[in-house]
Amino acid sequence: MFIHFSRRTLKCDLGLKALSWLDSCAKAEADGYPDPNALFSVDPSARFPTISVAQSNISGVRVILGAKGGILVGNLRDRQSHGAISHGKVILRDARDSNRFVELTTDGQGRFQFTVPNKAFTILATAPGYKAAYFMNGQSLILSSGEQRNITLELIQQQ
Which pLDDT tens digit goes with each residue over 56-82?
A: 666 777 777 788 899 999 999 999 999
User: Which amino acid does the sequence have at 107?
Assistant: D
List the CATH code of the domain at 70-155: 2.60.40.10
Residue 20 is given by DSSP the state: E
32 bridge partner residues: none
For the entire predicted model, the pTM comes to 0.75
The pLDDT value given to residue 62:
74
- Compute the average pLDDT of residues 105-120: 96
Start-end of CATH 2.60.40.10 domains in the chain = 70-155
The helix/strand/coil state of 29 is helix
Instruction: State how far the Cα of 52 lies from the Cα of 71, in Å rounded to an integer.
Output: 33
- Decide: 82 and 76 in contact? Cβ < 8 Å: no
Confidence of residue 8 (pLDDT cuts 50, 70, 90): low
User: Which amino acid does the sequence have at 32?
Assistant: G
Residues 110, 25, 11, 4: is their CA dihedral positive or negative? positive
